[in-house]
Structure 1
């Protein structure tokens, strides 16, 4: 899929997010105040991920029931392998868990701390141009 086509798909996915993704987005946006801008339906290579914190090279995927299906789970494993090989950390959370804002944000903060131990105070300007 060409990058230009993915831009349109990203926009469409943002407009048709499910409830768990929307609730996760409302929670994860709070990380901006801490200098960790979060992008939703963000393109990385040929993939569009649910959420990405590019400064931390962290992908957050919200998995609903369809991700338990064998074919979808196999694609998820392949996709995660490609992302990890490209230097991304991948955090998968269930849709049910994603709807618990306090737990979700603490898990993401812990993952940022684990994967970015030298980045104590990210720039509050955000990540324009990345």
Structure 2
């Protein structure tokens, strides 16, 4: 494993330990194959990026976005990351922190529909 790989793994570990409350809430619904037996991992490195949640079997990435993702530099970063992930064959679903808190069941339903290929990705 290259040194940069070690750094990326260490970064992912740090992110898992310091997850946001919205990420923790969503993880409670995804962990342990709780969503229709789909296996998810959290804070996974993919190329130069780390994604919030990943279902490898379905090649689905779930990103939890807060208010900072509406700032210009964050929008540009998210666009680069989305383009990279799509080029690697991943589908991406983005959910807002507020939706995780206020509409948790709807968020879980949306992720399930994405896993089944029934909704377009963001």
Q: Structure 2: how far apart are the matches of 1:27 and 1:41?
A: 15
Residues 36-55 of structure 1 aligned to structure 2 (within 5 Å)? 36-55=38-57
Q: CA RMSD in A?
A: 1.6
2:74 aligns with one of 72, 75, 84: 72
* Structure 2 residue 65 is the aligned partner of structure 1 residue 92: no
Gap runs ≥5 in structure 2: none
Q: Aligned-pair distance for 1:7?
A: 0.6
Q: Aligned-pair distance for 1:43?
A: 1.0
Other-structure match for 2:58: 56
Contact kept in structure 2, 1:57 and 1:88, CA below 8 Å: yes
Q: Aligned pair count? A: 115
Other-structure match for 1:123: none
Q: Helix, strand or coil for the counterpart of 2:89?
A: coil
Gap runs ≥5 in structure 1: 116-130
TM-score, normalization: structure 2? Answer: 0.87
Other-structure match for 1:108: 111
Q: Does 1 or 2 have the higher relative contact order (CA < 8 Å, sep 6+)?
A: 1
Q: Helix, strand or coil for the counterpart of 1:20?
A: helix
TM-score, normalization: structure 1? Answer: 0.82
